[in-house]
Structure 1
Amino acid sequence: MERLKAKIRSEGQVLSEQVLKVDAFLNHQIDPALMRDIGQEFARRFADAGITKIVTIEASGIAPAVMTGLELGVPVIFARKHQSLTLTDNLLVASVYSFTKQTESTIAVSTMHLSSDDRVLIIDDFLANGKAAKALISIIGQAGAQVAGLGIVIEKSFQVGRAELDAQGYRVESLARVASLADGQVTFAE
Protein backbone atom coordinates (compact mmCIF):
# COMPACT_ATOMS: atom_id res chain seq x y z
CA MET A 1 0.00 0.00 0.00
CA GLU A 2 1.90 2.99 -1.29
CA ARG A 3 0.12 5.64 0.79
CA LEU A 4 1.04 3.80 3.99
CA LYS A 5 4.67 3.40 2.89
CA ALA A 6 4.87 7.12 2.11
CA LYS A 7 3.48 7.93 5.56
CA ILE A 8 6.06 5.63 7.19
CA ARG A 9 8.85 7.33 5.23
CA SER A 10 7.69 10.85 6.05
CA GLU A 11 6.43 10.51 9.63
CA GLY A 12 7.89 7.26 10.99
CA GLN A 13 10.95 7.41 13.22
CA VAL A 14 13.56 4.66 13.33
CA LEU A 15 14.55 4.38 16.98
CA SER A 16 16.83 1.37 16.53
CA GLU A 17 17.41 -1.50 14.12
CA GLN A 18 14.43 -3.22 15.80
CA VAL A 19 12.00 -0.36 16.60
CA LEU A 20 9.96 1.81 14.23
CA LYS A 21 7.90 4.56 15.89
CA VAL A 22 4.71 5.43 14.03
CA ASP A 23 2.77 7.20 16.75
CA ALA A 24 2.21 10.26 14.54
CA PHE A 25 -0.42 8.39 12.49
CA LEU A 26 -1.09 4.83 13.74
CA ASN A 27 -0.74 4.10 17.42
CA HIS A 28 -1.01 7.34 19.38
CA GLN A 29 -2.30 10.00 17.03
CA ILE A 30 -4.45 8.40 14.34
CA ASP A 31 -4.84 9.52 10.72
CA PRO A 32 -8.53 8.71 10.07
CA ALA A 33 -8.28 8.96 6.28
CA LEU A 34 -5.35 6.56 6.25
CA MET A 35 -7.25 4.19 8.58
CA ARG A 36 -10.21 4.28 6.17
CA ASP A 37 -7.89 3.32 3.31
CA ILE A 38 -6.34 0.55 5.42
CA GLY A 39 -9.81 -0.80 6.28
CA GLN A 40 -10.81 -0.77 2.62
CA GLU A 41 -7.63 -2.59 1.62
CA PHE A 42 -8.01 -5.32 4.25
CA ALA A 43 -11.69 -5.70 3.27
CA ARG A 44 -10.68 -6.08 -0.38
CA ARG A 45 -8.01 -8.67 0.44
CA PHE A 46 -10.29 -10.74 2.69
CA ALA A 47 -13.61 -10.21 0.84
CA ASP A 48 -13.82 -13.91 -0.09
CA ALA A 49 -12.81 -15.32 3.33
CA GLY A 50 -16.27 -15.51 4.92
CA ILE A 51 -15.28 -13.30 7.88
CA THR A 52 -17.87 -13.11 10.66
CA LYS A 53 -15.79 -11.30 13.32
CA ILE A 54 -12.59 -9.28 13.60
CA VAL A 55 -10.33 -9.62 16.64
CA THR A 56 -7.50 -7.30 17.71
CA ILE A 57 -5.65 -6.30 20.88
CA GLU A 58 -6.19 -2.97 22.61
CA ALA A 59 -5.23 -0.33 21.84
CA SER A 60 -3.17 0.07 18.65
CA GLY A 61 -5.07 -2.45 16.58
CA ILE A 62 -8.48 -0.94 17.27
CA ALA A 63 -8.49 1.82 14.63
CA PRO A 64 -7.54 -0.38 11.64
CA ALA A 65 -9.78 -3.18 12.94
CA VAL A 66 -12.83 -0.92 13.29
CA MET A 67 -12.36 0.48 9.79
CA THR A 68 -12.01 -3.04 8.39
CA GLY A 69 -15.11 -4.14 10.31
CA LEU A 70 -17.02 -1.18 8.90
CA GLU A 71 -16.04 -2.16 5.35
CA LEU A 72 -16.82 -5.87 5.86
CA GLY A 73 -19.97 -5.23 7.89
CA VAL A 74 -18.88 -7.40 10.83
CA PRO A 75 -18.36 -6.80 14.56
CA VAL A 76 -14.94 -6.00 15.99
CA ILE A 77 -13.74 -7.49 19.28
CA PHE A 78 -10.68 -6.22 21.07
CA ALA A 79 -8.83 -8.35 23.58
CA ARG A 80 -8.44 -6.35 26.77
CA LYS A 81 -5.09 -6.15 28.52
CA HIS A 82 -6.33 -4.96 31.88
CA GLN A 83 -8.71 -6.40 34.40
CA SER A 84 -12.12 -4.77 34.41
CA LEU A 85 -15.01 -4.91 36.84
CA THR A 86 -17.25 -5.80 33.90
CA LEU A 87 -14.98 -8.43 32.32
CA THR A 88 -14.57 -11.11 34.98
CA ASP A 89 -16.41 -14.32 34.08
CA ASN A 90 -16.36 -16.73 31.15
CA LEU A 91 -13.12 -15.41 29.66
CA LEU A 92 -10.86 -16.68 26.94
CA VAL A 93 -7.34 -15.69 28.02
CA ALA A 94 -3.76 -15.80 26.78
CA SER A 95 -0.44 -14.19 27.69
CA VAL A 96 1.41 -11.89 25.31
CA TYR A 97 4.87 -10.37 25.59
CA SER A 98 5.41 -6.89 24.14
CA PHE A 99 8.91 -6.28 22.82
CA THR A 100 8.48 -2.50 22.68
CA LYS A 101 6.99 -2.26 26.18
CA GLN A 102 9.16 -5.06 27.62
CA THR A 103 6.17 -6.40 29.55
CA GLU A 104 3.97 -9.47 29.58
CA SER A 105 0.21 -8.98 29.69
CA THR A 106 -2.75 -11.27 30.05
CA ILE A 107 -5.33 -10.53 27.39
CA ALA A 108 -8.97 -11.55 27.59
CA VAL A 109 -12.10 -11.82 25.46
CA SER A 110 -15.53 -12.73 26.79
CA THR A 111 -16.92 -16.07 25.62
CA MET A 112 -20.12 -14.17 24.77
CA HIS A 113 -18.49 -12.67 21.70
CA LEU A 114 -16.80 -15.65 19.99
CA SER A 115 -18.23 -19.05 19.10
CA SER A 116 -17.37 -22.11 17.06
CA ASP A 117 -19.49 -20.65 14.22
CA ASP A 118 -17.11 -17.71 13.72
CA ARG A 119 -14.51 -17.21 10.99
CA VAL A 120 -12.19 -14.63 12.46
CA LEU A 121 -9.88 -12.09 10.88
CA ILE A 122 -7.11 -10.90 13.18
CA ILE A 123 -6.05 -7.29 12.60
CA ASP A 124 -2.99 -5.76 14.26
CA ASP A 125 -0.76 -2.73 13.82
CA PHE A 126 2.56 -4.62 13.81
CA LEU A 127 3.90 -8.11 13.22
CA ALA A 128 7.41 -8.66 14.54
CA ASN A 129 8.02 -11.78 16.61
CA GLY A 130 4.40 -12.90 16.36
CA LYS A 131 3.64 -12.97 20.09
CA ALA A 132 0.43 -10.93 19.84
CA ALA A 133 -0.77 -12.92 16.83
CA LYS A 134 -0.15 -16.23 18.60
CA ALA A 135 -2.01 -15.03 21.71
CA LEU A 136 -5.03 -14.03 19.60
CA ILE A 137 -4.87 -17.33 17.70
CA SER A 138 -4.94 -19.12 21.07
CA ILE A 139 -8.03 -17.18 22.21
CA ILE A 140 -9.82 -17.86 18.91
CA GLY A 141 -8.94 -21.55 19.22
CA GLN A 142 -10.28 -21.66 22.80
CA ALA A 143 -13.61 -20.46 21.43
CA GLY A 144 -13.59 -23.22 18.80
CA ALA A 145 -13.63 -20.54 16.11
CA GLN A 146 -11.57 -20.61 12.93
CA VAL A 147 -8.79 -18.15 12.05
CA ALA A 148 -9.50 -17.00 8.49
CA GLY A 149 -6.37 -14.86 8.27
CA LEU A 150 -4.27 -12.08 9.72
CA GLY A 151 -4.23 -8.51 8.45
CA ILE A 152 -1.09 -6.66 9.51
CA VAL A 153 -0.60 -2.94 8.95
CA ILE A 154 3.22 -3.00 9.26
CA GLU A 155 5.27 -6.19 9.19
CA LYS A 156 8.91 -6.26 10.27
CA SER A 157 9.84 -9.07 7.91
CA PHE A 158 13.38 -9.23 9.29
CA GLN A 159 11.92 -10.72 12.49
CA VAL A 160 10.53 -14.26 12.88
CA GLY A 161 6.78 -13.67 13.25
CA ARG A 162 5.79 -14.01 9.60
CA ALA A 163 7.88 -17.12 9.00
CA GLU A 164 6.38 -18.86 12.03
CA LEU A 165 2.80 -18.00 11.04
CA ASP A 166 3.46 -19.09 7.44
CA ALA A 167 4.90 -22.39 8.73
CA GLN A 168 1.68 -22.97 10.68
CA GLY A 169 -0.38 -22.42 7.52
CA TYR A 170 -1.96 -19.08 8.38
CA ARG A 171 -2.82 -16.55 5.68
CA VAL A 172 -0.97 -13.31 6.46
CA GLU A 173 -1.64 -10.11 4.51
CA SER A 174 0.68 -7.21 5.37
CA LEU A 175 0.17 -3.75 3.92
CA ALA A 176 3.78 -2.60 4.41
CA ARG A 177 6.64 -5.07 4.80
CA VAL A 178 9.75 -3.54 6.34
CA ALA A 179 12.91 -5.41 5.33
CA SER A 180 15.35 -3.37 7.41
CA LEU A 181 15.71 -0.46 9.81
CA ALA A 182 19.51 -0.37 9.50
CA ASP A 183 21.33 2.96 9.55
CA GLY A 184 18.16 4.75 10.63
CA GLN A 185 16.48 4.10 7.28
CA VAL A 186 13.31 2.18 6.47
CA THR A 187 13.81 -0.29 3.63
CA PHE A 188 10.69 -2.05 2.35
CA ALA A 189 10.50 -5.64 1.15
CA GLU A 190 8.74 -6.25 -2.14
Structure 2
Amino acid sequence: MFVFISCGICAMFPSCMSLLSRRGEQRAPRPGQAAVVLNVYDMYWTNWYTAGAGVGVFHSGVQVHGSEWAYGGHPYAFTGVFEITPRDERELGEQFRFRQSVHIGYTDFSEEEVRRLVTELGKQFRGDRYHLMNNNCNHFTSAFCLALCDRDIPAWVNRLAYVSSCVPFLQRCLPNGLSSVKE
Protein backbone atom coordinates (compact mmCIF):
# COMPACT_ATOMS: atom_id res chain seq x y z
CA MET A 1 0.00 0.00 0.00
CA PHE A 2 1.26 3.49 -0.79
CA VAL A 3 0.42 6.51 1.37
CA PHE A 4 1.79 10.01 1.68
CA ILE A 5 4.62 10.42 4.15
CA SER A 6 6.85 13.30 5.04
CA CYS A 7 10.53 13.52 4.17
CA GLY A 8 11.14 16.24 6.79
CA ILE A 9 10.91 19.19 4.45
CA CYS A 10 7.44 17.99 3.42
CA ALA A 11 5.99 19.36 6.64
CA MET A 12 6.67 22.80 5.21
CA PHE A 13 6.13 22.04 1.51
CA PRO A 14 3.41 19.49 0.81
CA SER A 15 4.27 19.37 -2.89
CA CYS A 16 7.44 17.45 -2.05
CA MET A 17 5.42 14.68 -0.40
CA SER A 18 6.46 11.39 -1.84
CA LEU A 19 4.51 8.22 -2.42
CA LEU A 20 6.56 5.86 -0.33
CA SER A 21 5.42 2.92 1.72
CA ARG A 22 5.01 3.48 5.46
CA ARG A 23 6.33 0.06 6.39
CA GLY A 24 5.89 -0.61 10.07
CA GLU A 25 3.56 2.36 10.56
CA GLN A 26 0.59 1.20 8.48
CA ARG A 27 -0.98 -2.10 9.28
CA ALA A 28 -3.49 -4.13 7.35
CA PRO A 29 -7.08 -3.76 8.55
CA ARG A 30 -8.49 -6.34 10.90
CA PRO A 31 -11.78 -7.98 9.90
CA GLY A 32 -14.62 -5.53 10.38
CA GLN A 33 -12.45 -2.42 10.23
CA ALA A 34 -13.15 0.36 7.76
CA ALA A 35 -10.63 2.64 6.09
CA VAL A 36 -10.57 6.29 7.17
CA VAL A 37 -9.60 8.54 4.25
CA LEU A 38 -9.18 12.30 4.18
CA ASN A 39 -10.35 13.86 0.91
CA VAL A 40 -8.76 17.25 0.30
CA TYR A 41 -10.09 19.91 -2.07
CA ASP A 42 -8.66 23.17 -3.34
CA MET A 43 -11.05 25.97 -2.50
CA TYR A 44 -9.69 28.68 -4.76
CA TRP A 45 -7.82 28.78 -8.06
CA THR A 46 -4.84 30.39 -6.31
CA ASN A 47 -4.00 27.05 -4.70
CA TRP A 48 -2.66 25.80 -8.02
CA TYR A 49 0.07 28.42 -7.65
CA THR A 50 0.58 28.60 -3.88
CA ALA A 51 0.09 25.04 -2.55
CA GLY A 52 3.56 24.00 -3.70
CA ALA A 53 4.99 26.61 -1.33
CA GLY A 54 3.04 25.15 1.59
CA VAL A 55 0.24 27.73 1.64
CA GLY A 56 -3.26 27.07 0.45
CA VAL A 57 -6.94 27.24 1.22
CA PHE A 58 -8.20 23.68 1.51
CA HIS A 59 -11.50 22.03 2.30
CA SER A 60 -11.47 18.50 3.64
CA GLY A 61 -13.90 15.72 4.37
CA VAL A 62 -13.54 12.30 5.97
CA GLN A 63 -14.55 9.23 3.97
CA VAL A 64 -15.58 6.17 5.97
CA HIS A 65 -18.09 3.39 5.22
CA GLY A 66 -18.79 4.77 1.74
CA SER A 67 -19.81 8.28 2.84
CA GLU A 68 -17.88 11.52 3.14
CA TRP A 69 -18.51 13.82 6.09
CA ALA A 70 -17.57 17.50 6.13
CA TYR A 71 -18.39 20.75 7.90
CA GLY A 72 -19.51 24.15 6.70
CA GLY A 73 -21.12 27.25 8.10
CA HIS A 74 -24.64 28.64 8.07
CA PRO A 75 -26.44 31.14 10.33
CA TYR A 76 -28.41 28.57 12.37
CA ALA A 77 -27.75 26.97 15.77
CA PHE A 78 -27.70 23.36 14.56
CA THR A 79 -25.08 21.09 13.04
CA GLY A 80 -22.99 22.25 10.12
CA VAL A 81 -21.80 18.68 9.48
CA PHE A 82 -23.08 17.20 6.24
CA GLU A 83 -22.76 14.04 4.16
CA ILE A 84 -21.79 13.92 0.48
CA THR A 85 -20.77 11.36 -2.10
CA PRO A 86 -17.01 10.80 -1.65
CA ARG A 87 -14.81 13.04 -3.82
CA ASP A 88 -17.80 14.66 -5.55
CA GLU A 89 -16.63 18.25 -5.87
CA ARG A 90 -19.85 19.19 -7.68
CA GLU A 91 -21.81 18.64 -4.46
CA LEU A 92 -19.55 21.17 -2.72
CA GLY A 93 -19.79 23.95 -5.31
CA GLU A 94 -18.00 25.37 -8.30
CA GLN A 95 -15.10 26.90 -6.34
CA PHE A 96 -13.99 23.44 -5.14
CA ARG A 97 -11.60 21.12 -6.97
CA PHE A 98 -10.64 17.68 -5.68
CA ARG A 99 -6.90 17.58 -4.89
CA GLN A 100 -6.09 14.22 -3.29
CA SER A 101 -7.05 11.49 -0.86
CA VAL A 102 -4.85 10.66 2.12
CA HIS A 103 -5.21 7.35 3.96
CA ILE A 104 -5.38 8.16 7.69
CA GLY A 105 -5.96 4.73 9.23
CA TYR A 106 -8.68 2.22 10.09
CA THR A 107 -11.60 2.36 12.49
CA ASP A 108 -13.46 -0.28 14.46
CA PHE A 109 -16.63 1.89 14.46
CA SER A 110 -19.58 0.41 12.59
CA GLU A 111 -21.52 2.56 10.13
CA GLU A 112 -24.21 3.15 12.79
CA GLU A 113 -21.57 4.15 15.37
CA VAL A 114 -19.99 6.56 12.86
CA ARG A 115 -23.38 8.22 12.34
CA ARG A 116 -23.83 8.58 16.12
CA LEU A 117 -20.34 10.08 16.37
CA VAL A 118 -21.19 12.54 13.58
CA THR A 119 -24.32 13.57 15.52
CA GLU A 120 -22.25 14.17 18.66
CA LEU A 121 -19.57 16.14 16.79
CA GLY A 122 -22.35 18.16 15.14
CA LYS A 123 -23.18 19.64 18.55
CA GLN A 124 -19.70 21.17 18.67
CA PHE A 125 -19.48 21.95 14.95
CA ARG A 126 -22.69 23.94 14.56
CA GLY A 127 -23.25 26.01 11.45
CA ASP A 128 -23.34 29.27 13.41
CA ARG A 129 -19.97 28.48 15.02
CA TYR A 130 -18.06 28.13 11.76
CA HIS A 131 -15.00 30.39 11.52
CA LEU A 132 -12.53 30.28 8.63
CA MET A 133 -9.49 30.39 10.93
CA ASN A 134 -10.63 29.03 14.31
CA ASN A 135 -13.36 26.43 13.65
CA ASN A 136 -13.38 25.31 10.03
CA CYS A 137 -13.88 22.10 8.04
CA ASN A 138 -10.29 21.03 8.70
CA HIS A 139 -10.75 21.40 12.46
CA PHE A 140 -13.77 19.11 12.10
CA THR A 141 -11.92 16.49 10.04
CA SER A 142 -9.08 16.54 12.56
CA ALA A 143 -11.46 15.91 15.47
CA PHE A 144 -13.33 13.25 13.49
CA CYS A 145 -10.15 11.36 12.49
CA LEU A 146 -8.84 11.47 16.06
CA ALA A 147 -12.13 10.02 17.32
CA LEU A 148 -12.28 7.36 14.60
CA CYS A 149 -8.71 6.05 14.61
CA ASP A 150 -6.58 8.21 16.94
CA ARG A 151 -4.70 9.79 14.02
CA ASP A 152 -4.68 13.42 12.97
CA ILE A 153 -4.89 14.92 9.50
CA PRO A 154 -1.66 16.15 7.86
CA ALA A 155 -0.59 19.57 9.18
CA TRP A 156 -0.39 21.17 5.72
CA VAL A 157 -4.17 20.83 5.24
CA ASN A 158 -4.93 23.50 7.87
CA ARG A 159 -1.60 25.39 7.87
CA LEU A 160 -3.10 28.71 6.73
CA ALA A 161 -5.56 28.75 9.66
CA TYR A 162 -2.81 27.79 12.11
CA VAL A 163 -0.41 30.48 10.86
CA SER A 164 -3.12 33.15 10.91
CA SER A 165 -4.10 32.20 14.47
CA CYS A 166 -0.47 32.83 15.49
CA VAL A 167 -0.37 36.15 13.64
CA PRO A 168 -3.58 38.06 14.52
CA PHE A 169 -2.74 40.71 11.91
CA LEU A 170 -3.55 38.17 9.18
CA GLN A 171 -7.08 37.65 10.54
CA ARG A 172 -7.67 41.39 10.45
CA CYS A 173 -6.75 41.34 6.75
CA LEU A 174 -9.78 39.18 5.93
CA PRO A 175 -12.66 41.09 4.33
CA ASN A 176 -15.64 41.70 6.64
CA GLY A 177 -17.81 38.60 6.89
CA LEU A 178 -15.27 36.26 5.28
CA SER A 179 -14.18 34.75 8.58
CA SER A 180 -17.59 33.21 9.18
CA VAL A 181 -18.74 32.39 5.67
CA LYS A 182 -19.91 28.97 4.58
CA GLU A 183 -17.21 27.10 2.74
Q: Shared fold (TM-score greater than 0.5)? A: no
Which has the bigger relative contact order, CA under 8 A and spacing at least 6?
Answer: 2
Scaled by the length of structure 1, the TM-score of the pair is 0.27
Scaled by the length of structure 2, the TM-score of the pair is 0.28
> Which structure dedicates a bigger proportion of its chain to strand?
1
